[in-house]
Amino acid sequence: MKRVAIDDTNRQHVLLCHVDDQYYAIDDLCTHEDFSLYLGCLKGDQVECSLHGARFNVKTGCAEEEPGEIPLKTYPVSIKGNTIFIDV
């Protein structure tokens, strides 16, 4: 997974995840306490927050392990040539 800036100020990020030969994009901030998920780890199709262990499905954004309850926003991803586009 890779954290990607989505604005010129470099303050907003999404997390681009490569799972099952597909790319998925989700908000970088954990919905539990706004901690960056890029500091966590990708396990299968779940990203685990390194602060308290919430897990989110990178394909759907759904919170699948407490203390995560609120889903992450997901963004459509497309590939054209060698470039990955995230529709934010």
Residue of 15, 17, 47, 49 interacting with ligand FES (CB under 6 A): 49
- The answer to whether 60 touches 72, Cβ cutoff 8 Å, is no
Size of the site for ligand FES (CB under 6 A): 11
DSSP code at position 69 = -
Q: Minimum distance between the CB of residue 27 and ligand FES, rounded to whole angstroms?
A: 12
Q: At which residue do the structure tokens 């997390």 appear?
A: 15
Which of 51, 62, 77, 84 is close enough to bind ligand FES by CB under 6 A? 51
Residues 67, 77, 84, 86: which binds ligand FES (CB under 6 A)?
A: 67
> Which residues between 6 and 35 bind ligand FES (CB under 6 A)?
30, 32-33, 35
